[in-house]
Structure 1
Amino acid sequence: MTRTPLDPGAARRRYVVVSALFWLPIGLSIAPMVPLFSERGLSLAAIAGCVAAHSLTAAALELPTGGLSDVLGRRAVLAAAGLFDVAALLLAALATTAWALALGMALKGVGRALSSGPAEAWYVDTVHASAGPDAELRTGLARGHAAEAVALAVGVLVGGALPWLSGLGPDLGDRLGDATSGLVLPLSLPMLLGVAVEVGFVAYVLTALPEPPRPRATLSGVLRGVPGTVVSGLRLSAGDALVRRVMLSAAAAGGALVTVELLTPARAVDLTGAPESGAVLFAGLACAGYACSAVGSQLAPRVARLAGDGERAVLVSLGAAAGGLLLIGATAALAGPYALLPLAVGYVLIYVGLGAAAPSENELLHRRVDSAGRATALSVQSLALQLVGALTGLAAGNLPPGPPRWLLGGAVLLAGALLWARRPPAARSRTLADGVTEPDRGSRKSVA
């Protein structure tokens, strides 16, 4: 690998490719996962347990894996994430027992935790090495987030259509099952396609993402370095007012996303009157949501210019997303075709708003933390999103059906938006010896 830093344009293009290649297999697995697990004989409760294995594993490993990336390097950790995902997708596609499927979901959680931050941290490190610490980041971050959303949208469509298309052939499903002793079903095909994409992802990461040479890592060095990096990231997240607002905004977005993902399937069934047609409506809304998120990410630089700066852009974007969720909540008691319009408009506002907010939030974050703790800070952000999302989902599930459940998620997101309504006094920053950036006392006093 060359030690000459890539120019910002080349780094941006490679970051976009890596983002798309990682998230496409995840999109491929979304539509067929629950039906495939049901075909393997799992009850809904058992499927929920498999999903919990994924979520809990990812949450438990978020901070350690972020520190691992900061110690070992971005490329090695990204490649490891791809390899764990290969194993997870193979188990999801071919396993026939509940414990094996749960193991596959846990491995998927490991891959998710490992992937949380290294690609974005690599992009920012590369741009800073080539163009300096004041280089513009928002455009590249926006395109990376847009690539993720497009990959998910394409993956959902292909993953939902591939088993159906395979069923058009004469007895293809029976022939697949007979030839593989029941291991491969039509619903397994999207996961197997995802394995091929994931192998391509690993190869691309290892060959196309040069990074500055790091000191040779030893086991004792990693064991010493990871905890220290994690502590530094947590200290920065708690002590820097701007970073704290970024983390709390991510947490609010997690509450909103879980609300939408948890309640939309049942709402779609209520509006269409049948599970089958409700599933079609939900798939269409999910695909449209990812597409709207991509549009929002692409609009992020323009929103920031119109708003005046990144902080105002986050306020406007999250406010629009909260308005969309509150609109859905306010009309959740409606029935019939008249309820489809507010549901569709709300979906557009939610995903466009969240898509537009993320690049501005992350650019603000990257200007407050340096390379030594960058991936850890992104892992703290992801952990906040997952934990508050889980708590909001549990709370919504215990509220009465109808508007209260939706309005809870809208209120959480609105609170995240209002964090940006009051701007802290301008503060100079100083770099600490441990590699993180701490504001002066005037900024520390402001309320996140």
Structure 2
Amino acid sequence: MRPLSARQAERRYLALSGLRWFATGLIFPVMVLLYTDRGLDLPTAGLLVALYSGVVIALELPTGGLADQLGRRRTMLLSGALSVVSLTGLAFARTWWQFAAVALVSATARALGSGPLEAWYVDTARAADPGTALRTGISRGWAVEALGLGLAATLGGWLPGLADGLRSGGVLSPFSVPALAAAAVATASLIAHAALMVEPGDTGLPRVTGAAAVLRDVPAQVASGVRLASSDPVVRLLVLRMAAVGFAIAALELLTPLQLAEMLGGADRAGLAYGALATAAWLGSAAGSAAAPALCRAGTRVGLASPLSTAAAGTALFGLAVALIGLAAAGPGGLALAAAGYVLAYVSAGVPGPLTTEALHERVDAARRATLISVESLAFQLGCLVGSVAVARVAAWAGYPYGWAAAAGALLVAASLTVRAAARARSSQAAPEQTKAEDSPAHQLR
């Protein structure tokens, strides 16, 4: 079989990303409603969410190392198969322990699939053309993910209303319909991954055969990725940046629906408003990600020296948008300002993602690429975990404006870290050029 070109790899990456996240988006708006429809109370639903998050965090690094050892394609096929099982089980689950089993399988699938597809795209594109720019393909991938989530969430919220023949308490309930639709999309996604993911030839990945050998080498692979993240100054700063961004994202997801309920005078109204706002935000995030390469080019014309400098500006704008939501919580501007700040937050958050991701890929070889993506994802999830606890306490103790202030402060830290990463990247690029100049015959004759 002929190797894929960089353009072919990008098209397949976009199609597979869209399918994968469309399945996730279908179930997103009705997950908690499905729990309550099956008779679970809110604390139990919260424990199920915590179980899912904890398993993803625990498996993030081992599964990243597994992808570098086992191969991107096989890891994604395993993730896809588990996704089909978990979504099908979600449609039929009726008790807490059944939902807990589904959460375990779903979290394992999520951890397995958090980095291999992007790593496959980078490896395949670079194998076809070592000089290809990564930011365009990655930015389009992020845009497709956000677009798929937004469109699927709208469809997923609409599907239960079509299930007139189903009743609560039966084998299937109206809220099972989005889960079954998601399982069908996940099945199509699994088939597409099997057909379209063709591993490139020589990428530097280890040639490991046998399950025992793969599992034996995973701890060393994880340790290698962690050493890279801690020793390379640019990688270290960008991983810390991702933790700070996770802190702020947790605030957005936690405080926004509660603030809307307070502003609109009821949870029912807030649910409808939040659904529409979340769809607009995901579409805005898609637009921000798609615009990242063009904004990067424009940034160089106004004095931003590198893609990471543009990413820092986008992160700072993200912080300003969060501050606007906090201002609305304090009184001025009201609902209109809060909604505008929320959408602006996701638009501006979409810009830095592809640019910082490209910078990470430039600092790692193929043998540790998926592991490093998992390190970054783990930092994000830990930031979300800390943010959800800290922001909730601050908002409960002092009020919503102070919770938003904490999130905006985290984003200012993230912007500062991005600026420092840009400076470190420039200095590391200048050092080899200086060494090369000093080694030249003309320099040696002086």
- The yes-or-no answer on 1:364 pairing with 2:356 is no
In the TM superposition, 1:158-169 aligns within 5 A as 158-167=155-164
Query: For residue 325 of structure 1, what is the amino acid of its counterpart?
Result: V
Q: How many Å apart are 1:429 and its aligned residue?
A: 10
* Higher helix fraction (1 or 2): 2
Aligned residue type for 1:185: S
- TM-score (norm: length of structure 1): 0.90
Alignment of 1:136-285 (within 5 A): 136-167=133-164, 172-174=165-167, 182-212=170-200, 215-285=207-277
AA matched with 2:166? G
Tell me: CA distance 1:429–1:372, structure 2 relative to 1, closer, same or farther (3 Å): farther
Judge conservation of contact 1:323–1:349 (CA < 8 Å) in 2: no
Tell me which of 6, 10, 13 is aligned to 1:12: 10
- Separation in 2, partners of 1:417, 1:342: 23
Paired position in structure 2 for 1:75: 73
Question: Aligned letter for 2:92?
Answer: L
The DSSP-based 3-state class of the residue aligned with 2:419 is: coil
SS at match of 2:427: coil
Confirm or deny that 1:384 pairs with 2:385: no
Residue 330 in structure 1 maps to residue 312 in structure 2: no
Structure 1 CA distance, aligned partners of 2:359 and 2:407? 25
Q: TM-score, structure 2 length as denominator?
A: 0.90
* Segment drifting more, 87-96 vs 46-55: 87-96
Task: State the identity as a percent.
Answer: 37
Distance, in Å, in 1 between the alignment partners of 2:314 and 2:237 is: 15
1:111-132 superposed Cα distances (whole Å, 9 cap, x missing partner): 1100111000000000110001
Match of 1:104 among 79, 102, 105: 102
In structure 2, the residue matched to 1:345 is 340
Letter in 2 for 1:28: L
Which residue in the other structure is 2:388 paired with?
A: 393
Give the letter for the 2:284 counterpart: C
> Match of 1:319, as an amino acid?
A
> What's the C-alpha RMSD, in Å, of the aligned pairs?
1.7
Kindly provide the amino acid, as one letter, of the partner of residue 70 in structure 2: L
Which deviations, in whole Å up to 9, do the C-alpha atoms of 1:266-285 show, x marking residues without a partner?
A: 11111111211110011011
- Please give the secondary structure, in 2, of the residue aligned with 1:173: coil
How far did 1:223 drift?
2.7
Q: Which stretches in structure 2 are left out of the alignment for 5+ residues? A: 301-305, 432-446
User: Runs of 4 or more off by more than 3 Å in structure 1?
Assistant: none
Alpha-carbon distance in 2 for matches of 1:428, 1:272: 53
Residue 331 of structure 1 and its aligned partner are, at CA, apart by: 2.3
* Cα distance, 1:203 vs structure 2: 0.6
- CA displacement, residues 42-66 of structure 1 (integer Å, 9 cap, x when unaligned): 0100000111111001000000000
CA distance in 2, matches of 1:348, 1:30: 18
Q: Is the 8 A contact 1:330 1:407 kept in 2?
A: no
Q: How many residues align?
A: 417
How far did residue 190 of structure 1 move? Answer: 0.4
What is the letter of the counterpart of residue 109 of structure 1?
Answer: A
Contact 1:49 1:102 in 2 (8 A): no
CA distance in 1, matches of 2:253, 2:418: 25
Match of 2:444 in 1: none
